[in-house]
Every structure is written in structure tokens, then in C-alpha cells.
Structure 1
Amino acid sequence: MSQIPTLDISRFDRSRPDEERRAFVAELGAAYREWGFAGIRGHGIPERLVADAYDAFQRFFALPDGVKRKYHVPGGGGARGYTPFGIETAKGAQHYDLKEFWHVGREIPRDSRYAEAMPPNLWPEEVPGFREAGYALYQALDQLGSRVLTALALHIGLPEDWFADKTDSGNSILRPIHYPPITADDIPNVRAGAHEDINLITLLVGASAEGLEVLSRKGEWVPFTADADTIVVNIGDMLQRLTNHVYPSTTHRVVNPKGPKAREPRYSVPFFLHPNPDFLIDVLPSCVTPDNPKRYPEPITAQGYLEERLREIKLK
């Protein structure tokens, strides 16, 4: 493949012929083996839902700094609410990312066994509709992510529902991001430094400007700006570890645009799909072969892995 493919996930609907579903699984699996990234269209998430969520998020980021900081939780690892500009730093990077963001998590009963790992959401009272639009988008992307995982399970020889009970209470995060306009020509930072994601898969909806670049196997940075109806879905480190690198967690970044576009803000909304906090990430036997021996002898819980990585990127 010379470029990152975009595939129509409606071909995987249960109403479609078996051969069409199998072909989609094969093409999706091949895309992820090669790139760790794919575009997904035909997903059925209404444009209005995405637009309403973006509108609410942009209204929040336009608030005065002092108002936004009311929703920052010091010591909370950015798990919920607002994380100000100048904190998150890509692993191993010298300079912090040029962004501020908000985190929406799963709504769970407060007597759940996962309550300690998954605190209650915060909602900005200054932005009408934020909670309704934000959580509706969270649920839509959670459901789409489950469909992608179902196809990937089949591709590596697992039952199609293998991930279902391992992600139904996943510590997943919706992250609206604001990259402010860049006003100087000589800053050393980029909007988001080269990194890999922590989670199982990431779904990126409606990026408002180009800038996403993916590092190819040849070591070249490949721009990937999806069409408006396409959601970019990539592999994270947890799935890379679980599949013994059959699905690579590919390095990517968000670069600063050239010329006048640098003076424009950029908004994007990734959804980081995580397993349940107590899920044990242990290499799948089906992904171990003589040519690909087991790379991780010791398993680790999803929550333990997450906390380890949050420290590395300076959120904890």
C-alpha cells in the first residue's frame, strides 16, 4: 500500500453477504498490519451530532482562561475536565505540546468496582449543550470502536465478540483539543509531538485542519487528512502489546501548518478506546509464531499500564 487506505465499514454490517464481510475484515487487517492507521467511512454517525459537539467544544475553549481553569483538577492526571496549555509532553520530547484539552469519560454507577479508576465527569456550566452533545458523541464513537474491534478479532482468529466483555466498562476518553493559533515563526514546539497512543484504538473525528502525519515503515512522514465523512482509526500501544506487534502502534504527530494557516486555530476530537481497568494485557497465543516470538513475558493490567504511561507524558 502506497497510501493509508480508507474503507467503508458498512460492508461489515450483518445484513451484508458473508463474502463481503470477510473481504472487509481482510482489507482492514492488512491496512493495520501495514500502517497501524485506516480511514473509516460509512460509519453512520450523523454529521449533525459531530457538528453540535464541535460547536459546544469551541464555545468552551473560547471562555476566559480563569473560567476554564475552574475545571482543572490538580493531581488528577487529566482524567476529567480541563487540562491547560503547556502541560502534556510527548514521551521523550523536550518541549510541551501546543494544545489545551478537555476529557469526557464513561458515566458509571458510583458504586461500580471501577469507580476509583474512573471518576465522575465534570461539565462546564457556562456552555449549554456541552454535556448532551459531548456524551452523545462519546457513545457513538464507543459503539463504532466496538465494530472495528469485532472485525479485528476475526482477522486474528478470535471469536467476533472477544472484545465485548473486555471493553464494556472501558476507561475510554473523549478528548476535545484546541490548538491555538501560532503567532511566532521560530518556536521549537509542534502542536503535538511525535508519539504513539496508549490505548487499544483511537478514533479521530472531524479534524478541522490538516497537520496529522503518520510515520511510514520507510521512515517517511505521510500526511493524512481525511474527508469530512471519514473517521481516522489507529492502533494504540495496548493493542500492539496484546497482538505481539501484529498490529503496530504507529508513531504520528500534528505539525504546525505553513503560512497563514498557522495563524488559525485547530480543533480535533479523538476518542481513546480503553479496555476495562482490570483487563490483563497478555500476548495472545494466536499472535505468537516462530517468526514473531513473544515480546512481553509479563502481563500487566490496563489500569497499571495507563498510569505508567501518564507519568511518562507528564499528566501524572
Structure 2
Amino acid sequence: MNSIPSVDLSDFLSEDPKRKQKFVDNIGKAYEDIGFVALKGHFLDETLVDKLYTEIKNFFDLPLEVKQKYEVPGIGGQRGYVSFGKESAKGKKEGDLKEFWHFGQYVDDNPKLAEEYPDNVEVKELPEFNKVGKETYQMLEKTAKYVLRALALHLGLEETYFDAYIHNGNSILRPIHYPPITQEPKDAVRAAAHGDINLITLLMGAQGRGLQVQNHKGEWIDAIAEPDELMINVGDMLSRHTNNKLKSTIHRVVNPPKELWGTSRYSIPFFMHPISEMKLDVLDSCVDNEHSKQYDDITAGQFLHERLVELGLIKK
């Protein structure tokens, strides 16, 4: 496969059983083949997207000493600001050429979880920043819920199988700024080759060249979305849960050609995580004579902790 398939969520949301089934079949096949789709018909409107880009550009333009006030020690970068070069891909020493922010879950009906998750960080200099971030978070979470419903049907599960696991899940909205490159990077790229940890990732801002996906032949292909599309990929948790039936594909963000080094790039992934108690044990329906069980039993919380240690974001 040499391009990313495109699907339209309005087919799944329609009252037409044939359109709904077509969406289920198409997204299921794409996730078995390449692990990525471009999705139209999501719940983000253009006005909200424009507001969010304005707010995140305003934030990353703040002086470094102001941004660093919002870097919270001891929580593995789960909320607030993470400064340039702090994160590296699994197995890579060089830090990625990016800085980013984390919005987390807004728990309103579960005091135990509200206590478990770190609080979101309020940016005092930008009165609209947190409000717009929350609204975007909730619209992406809603979009993700229906994508997972389609995947549940594709896997032969009850349609709402994932709903209880993602309600108040440990999901993260991450606005990223890749600053202009000022000197020849030594073995560092904007985001080194990696797979995502979570169930699925919804990515805003994949309109320009930069994001690349590795297909089954090991070739890197450009993943470029239309302006009204989100790029959505399978994460390692979902791949593990389905015994690799749905593929968590290695991807990267490469440095631009030298003539574009002076430009910033922004992208905004939403990492859909379940609650930490969700069991990621391989689904019985994904094991047969040709596909033996490939993974030990583990919960989402245990798996996330392991990976944050590997990424250098928390200490053992």
C-alpha cells in the first residue's frame, strides 16, 4: 500500500445500514493493511480549529522563561509544558526537535479518577487558551468514540465495547511546536521513528509534508491529509489487544528541506487512552490456528508506565 486511505465518519453516523457497514469494512481493512486512515466528517469545526492554532501559536511564542513556569516536575510530562528536546523515541538517545503542551482528561463524575489524574495547567497569560483546548479535547474524544465503535463491529464485538473503557480515559491532547532548525541537526529529527502507545491517535495538522508512515515493505510513504481531514492511526495498546490484527504502524516526522529550515511546524495529536484498569489481554476472537497469542496479559496502566520509562519521561 502506497497511500493512506480516506474514509468519512458521516457514513458510519448515517441511518443507512449499507453506508455504515461500508465504513466499518473500509476502516477495518485500512487498519489491517497500513494502520492509518484520513478521516472526514469528524466533530471539529473550522472555527474551533482556527481558534486552537491561534492559541497554541500564541503560547509557543511566549518567552522561554514564561513557558518554563508551566513545566510541572514529577509527573512525567503528563500535563502542561514539556521543553525542547526533552522527549526521545524508544531506543533513541537524541531528543526530538520539538516542544509541546499536554491537556488531559476533564473528569466530572468520578472523584477517584479525578484524584488519580494530574490537574490541567492554566495559562494565565492567555485567557482563551485553556477553554479552546478543552473544547477541542472533547470534540476529538467524541470523534474517537465512534471510530472505536466501528472497530468494535469490525472485530466482532458489541458496538459499544470500548465506551466504558474510554469514558474518563487517560487521553492526552498534545499541541506540538517544531521550531525553525537553526543548525545542522546531529542525528536528530523532528520526531524519530516510533509507534504510539495508546488505542488510537487522531492527528490535526498533517496537511504539509513531514509525517511519514512505514508500509509492510519497509518503505516510507508520505501521509498528507486534506484540510478537512484528521489522520487517525492505531496505537500499540489496540494492536496488542487485537494480537496485531490491527496494525500499529511505525511513523516519523522528518526534517524539511534545508530551504524550509527557517519555518515552524505545528501539529496536534490526540492520544486516545483507556482507563488504566482496562485489560489489554489478547481478544479470543483474534487467536486461531494461524495466529497464536503473541502477548502476555497486562493492563493499560501497567503498559503506559513501562513505555513512559522507556521514553525517559519518568524514572523507574
Report the TM-score when normalising by structure 2.
0.96
Where in structure 2 are the equivalents of 1:190-205 lying within 5 Å? 190-205=189-204
1:77-96 superposed Cα distances (whole Å, 9 cap, x missing partner) = 00100000111000011311
Query: How much does 1:219 deviate?
Result: 0.4
Where in structure 2 are the equivalents of 1:87-126 lying within 5 Å? 87-109=86-108, 112-126=111-125
1:87-135 superposed Cα distances (whole Å, 9 cap, x missing partner) = 1000011311000000000112596222343111002111121011111
Where in structure 2 are the equivalents of 1:248-259 lying within 5 Å? 248-259=247-258
- Aligned counterpart, 2:85: 86
Please, which moves more after superposition, 169-178 or 179-188?
179-188
Aligned sequence identity (%): 48
Matched residues in 2 for 1:111 and 1:157: separation? 30
- Aligned counterpart, 1:69: 68
Q: 1:311 aligns with which of 300, 309, 313?
A: 309
Matched residues in 2 for 1:263 and 1:303: separation? 40
Q: CA RMSD in A?
A: 1.3
Matched residues in 2 for 1:303 and 1:209: separation? 34
Partner SS, residue 263 of structure 1: coil
Matched residues in 1 for 2:87 and 2:140: separation? 24
Matched residues in 1 for 2:42 and 2:177: separation? 25
Partner SS, residue 59 of structure 1: helix
Query: How much does 1:278 deviate?
Result: 1.3
1:127-162 superposed Cα distances (whole Å, 9 cap, x missing partner) = 121011111000000000001000000001001110
* Amino acid of the structure 1 residue aligned with 2:33: E
- Residues 75, 44 of structure 1: CA spacing in aligned structure 2 closer, same or farther, 3 A cutoff? closer
Where in structure 2 are the equivalents of 1:154-173 lying within 5 Å? 154-173=153-172
Query: How much does 1:234 deviate?
Result: 0.2
- Aligned counterpart, 2:290: 291
- Aligned counterpart, 2:132: 133
Matched residues in 2 for 1:111 and 1:135: separation? 18
**Contact 2:206 / 2:223 at 8 angstroms: preserved in 1?**
no
Query: How much does 1:14 deviate?
Result: 3.8
Say how many residue pairs are matched: 314
Correspondence 1:261 to 2:269: no
Where in structure 2 are the equivalents of 1:184-195 lying within 5 Å? 184-195=183-194
Correspondence 1:278 to 2:277: yes
Where in structure 2 are the equivalents of 1:210-229 lying within 5 Å? 210-229=209-228
- Aligned counterpart, 2:299: 301
Correspondence 1:10 to 2:10: yes
Query: How much does 1:236 deviate?
Result: 0.3
1:218-271 superposed Cα distances (whole Å, 9 cap, x missing partner) = 000001111110000000000001000001110000000103222100000000
For structure 1, the 5+ residue unaligned runs are none
Partner SS, residue 115 of structure 1: helix
Please, which moves more after superposition, 96-105 or 199-208?
199-208
* Amino acid of the structure 2 residue aligned with 1:120: D
For structure 2, the 5+ residue unaligned runs are none
Partner SS, residue 280 of structure 1: coil
Partner SS, residue 69 of structure 2: helix
* Amino acid of the structure 1 residue aligned with 2:287: V
1:8-41 superposed Cα distances (whole Å, 9 cap, x missing partner) = 11111142x1111111111110000000101001
Partner SS, residue 3 of structure 1: coil
Matched residues in 1 for 2:74 and 2:94: separation? 21
Give structure 1 regions of 4+ aligned residues with deviation exceeding 4 angstroms: none
**Contact 1:208 / 1:267 at 8 angstroms: preserved in 2?**
no
Correspondence 1:247 to 2:246: yes
